[in-house]
Amino acid sequence: MNASEIRTRITDLEKASKDSLPADRFIEILNSLRNEIKITEKLLRETKVGIAVNKLRQHSNKAVADLAKDIVARWKSEVKGTVAKPKSDAAAPPPQKRVAPAATTKIPATAAPEQQRKSVSTQGGTGGRSKETDKVAWKCLSDPVRDNCLGMIYDGLCFEAAQDVDSSKILSRTKAVEAAVYAACKRTDQTYKTKIRSLYLNLRDKKNPNLRRRVINGDISPERLSTMTSQEMASEERRAEDQKLEEENMREAMKPTAVRSTTDQFPCGKCGKRTVAYSQAQTRSADEPMTTFCECQNCGHRWKFC
């Protein structure tokens, strides 16, 4: 995922927050960021995606908050790894000497061109295919919105597709899927656009090649795909992760919690409302004041003070 696509996801997150969309929408966008980004320090600074995800650590929905925390922790670990790597390489120059012999590098390069092409075909391509590289006629519906959505679905289906998968076959499936979504929505409203975006994100999931393959091969009909939820389209790995997260949330919900009261004495710093639920706990030594944990019942903003 490049910087432009990341900024689009950030915009999606901001819109989801502004419109108070369901938690499933946040989880869908966050999963795409977690699965499709190879994070670097440069990318974090350029896109500010870390700031956008970090804001969701305080989301009122625990599943969204936990997923945001997991992504932030993972990115921190990955960035630390990439920063530390050049130092270890600089301290160990011997590998450069092993590359020197010309005889060992020329033989494999000239002996296996056909084998390399075969590998691309059987293992699922390199991920470089798109509507532009395949040069397909995707602007064919006389409607800019539907044409753009058609292009998104094509990019999702051809993602990492083998080079021997005919582009005309992918385009045919793409048109059928878009037509099924449009038939269900009747017009290019927000419901239509949200569904197309959901299909695109799930089809582009690197960990879910089986979904793309089944759609292209016709195992999943366009009509069926147009009605599938994100959970139904998810890969086995993602379903296992979601199940684990759900079980953790269930265990967390069953833990005894402090009794909360409602007051109008603490104004919310985010929305200004005074409908606030609060609880108190001794988080420091016994002779220190208790910590008060607050949650706005209007916008879900949380804060604490002593």
If you classify domain 3-100 with CATH, what class do you get?
Answer: mainly alpha
In which band, very low, low, confident or very high, does the pLDDT at 156 lie, cut at 50, 70 and 90?
very high
Please state the pTM of the whole predicted model.
Answer: 0.44
In which band, very low, low, confident or very high, does the pLDDT at 93 lie, cut at 50, 70 and 90?
very low
DSSP 57: G
| Largest interatomic CA distance in the chain | 80
Report the percentage of the chain scoring pLDDT > 90.
26
If you classify domain 261-305 with CATH, what class do you get?
Answer: mainly beta
Are the beta carbons of 249 and 225 closer than 8 angstroms? no
In degrees, rounded to 5, the angle at the alpha carbon of residue 200 between the alpha carbons of residues 32 and 191 is: 105
**Predicted confidence (pLDDT) per residue in 261-270, tens digit:** 888 888 998 9
Give domain limits for the chain: 3-100, 131-240, 261-305
For residue 40, the one-letter residue type is: T
In degrees, rounded to 5, the angle at the alpha carbon of residue 228 between the alpha carbons of residues 126 and 178 is: 65
Report the percentage of the chain scoring pLDDT > 70.
80
**Predicted confidence (pLDDT) per residue in 158-194, tens digit:** 998 888 788 999 999 999 999 999 999 999 999 999 9
Give the Cα separation of 159 and 35 in Å (integer): 14
**What's the mean per-residue pLDDT of the chain?**
80
